[in-house]
Amino acid sequence: MQYYSTNKQSSKVDFKQATLNGQAPDKGLYFPERIPILPKDFIENIISYSNEEIAYQVIKPYVGDAIPEEELRRIVSETIKFDIPLVKVTEAIYSLELYHGPTLAFKDIGARFMSRCLGYFVNHSAMLRADNKKVIVLVATSGDTGGAVANGFFDVDGVDVVILYPSGKVSSVQEKQLTTLGKNIHALEVNGTFDDCQQMVKQVFTDEELNKKLFLTSANSINVARWLPQQFYYFFAYKQWAQKNNPPVIAVPSGNFGNICAGILANISGLPVKHFIAACNANDIVPSFMQTEKYEPKKAVATISNAMDVGNPSNFVRILEIFQHQFINLKKVLSSCSITDAETKDTLQKVYKTEGYLLDPHGAVGYLALEQYLKNNPSEKGIVLETAHPVKFYDVVEPVIGEAVPIPIAVQQQLLLKKKSTKIAAEVDLLKEFLLSL
């Protein structure tokens, strides 16, 4: 499998080089030159396959010969080594719980897969050893990515990780997850927004002087090794879906749009899905685009579903690429809406009181978006992706439900650890200075 840049100004590369590069030299995102179509009998008999086999069959065409089969099977097995249950909430709505991994968030899948791929490439690359450059994984986070990447890469030999996060704009649990590990994990607390963090990361990737001295790659969902494995849990959801003759509508809480893009990719590959809903908070760039066909990035605004506070979602260009920038085809598959903080709180409270099911603020955005869609399409049933454990946002959730959220033991222990971060202004020169000091 070869990957081209969405800006069409860089050479094609294989999976290994796309993973190592992170972003293409022309500042575009890597995209597979073809979308593999899975055998029809594989989909029809999906219930008879193990999750490990499903994930391997999904990802193998994208990896190609870059990783040997035995090694890729090991990476896949370690990536999905936790439950991903589909839980019934109402007769029409099911929740796919993606928070049973080590950092209680959906990004554990992508981060675990990418860290193991990158670890393999670093330790089996004669070129990297010959250059003797320090390998640094650079990531901007609006919340969950940071913790997942920190956990996935912790103590990986030969790799340093630098995580940029907006000061005061991630939850207290999220902050502890990305700032308390130490060793090869370095947290930069940026006085700015997530978009500032993301822009700083993009700028250093194109800095020629810096790249002569360091080998930089990305662990954001712009990296194909982070983005592509997110397809796995859409297949796992369908495996658990009882009504195979009536495919689900899937609502995805959406910020940077990597997650829903992976779902659409899975659908194009053959996975039955009736429709996708990109559920956004007040950052309504995509909902506005779906109404006007005008893509107008804005400065991100802070909400209680902070991991989705993105004013210029990087991965939306990949969604446009899937549909060859044909809006009429995109609209058949995807709709999008914006949910306010007040509506989010109301949904969180209502679902907990009436159904006994506790959502996190992001899941609540997705739930209401799905509920609104099903009101207009009463014959359909759907799945909401519950992307994080409510305890990660206990400071938002507890006042809404009037109860304490039970804290898992692992989180209890992490909350007691001391935060280790370096505060910097949102200036790319300060980031460059820090990277060269490692």
51 within domain boundaries: no
175 within domain boundaries: no
Please indicate whether residue 298 is annotated as part of the active site: no
pTM for this one? 0.89
369-425 per-position pLDDT tens digit: 999 999 999 999 999 999 999 998 999 999 999 999 988 887 888 888 899 999 999
**The predicted structure's pLDDT at residue 130:** 55
User: How far apart are the C-alpha atoms of 300 and 279, rounded to whole Å?
Assistant: 16
Instruction: Count how many domains the chain has.
Output: 1
115-168 per-position pLDDT tens digit: 899 888 887 776 665 567 888 999 998 777 888 889 888 988 888 999 999 999
* φ, ψ dihedrals at 253, nearest 5°: -55, 125
Q: Domain range spanning residue 372?
A: 83-106+227-406
The CA-CA-CA angle for residues 401, 382, 312, to 5°, reads 75
Q: Kindly list the distances between the CA atom of residue 382 and the CA atoms of 238, 280, 354, 406, in Å, as whole numbers in the listed order.
A: 11, 17, 18, 27
Instruction: Give the CATH number of the domain where residue 256 resides.
Output: 3.40.50.1100
38 within domain boundaries: no
The active-site residue out of 16, 107, 392, 432 is: 107
169 within domain boundaries: no
User: How far apart are the C-alpha atoms of 296 and 64, rounded to whole Å?
Assistant: 36
Q: Kindly list the distances between the CA atom of residue 60 and the CA atoms of 75, 135, 242, in Å, as whole numbers in the listed order.
A: 12, 26, 27
89 within domain boundaries: yes
183 within domain boundaries: no
User: How far apart are the C-alpha atoms of 435 and 438, rounded to whole Å?
Assistant: 6
Residues of the chain with pLDDT under 70: 126-131
330 within domain boundaries: yes
428 within domain boundaries: no
